[in-house]
């Protein structure tokens, strides 16, 4: 989960690849606006 530039909470599905120790690549597979229950869980964390 994370927030976009408009401060909307998003649920992200992503992959993470460490190319080298100093370089990583993140590929976003999908993103959607978080549901109300998910938003509450995020705020608790």
Mention every residue, 6+ apart, whose C-beta is less than 8 A from residue 32.
Answer: 10, 11
Are 39 and 20 contacting, i.e. CB atoms less than 8 angstroms apart? no
Mention every residue, 6+ apart, whose C-beta is less than 8 A from residue 14.
Answer: 26, 27, 28, 29
**What range does the domain containing 37 cover?**
2-44
Q: Read out DSSP for 1-18?
A: -EE-TT--EEEEEEEEEE
* Domain tally, the chain: 1
19-41 confidence digits (pLDDT tens): 999 999 999 999 999 999 999 88
Predicted local confidence at residue 45, as pLDDT: 67
Write phi, then psi, for 42 (nearest 5 degrees): -65, -45
Output the pTM of the full model. 0.65
């Amino acid at each position: 989960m994370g927030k976009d530039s408009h401060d909307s909470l998003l649920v992200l599905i992503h992959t993470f690849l460490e190319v080298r120790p100093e370089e990583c690549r993140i590929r976003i597979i999908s993103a959607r606006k978080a549901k109300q229950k998910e938003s509450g869980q995020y705020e608790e964390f």
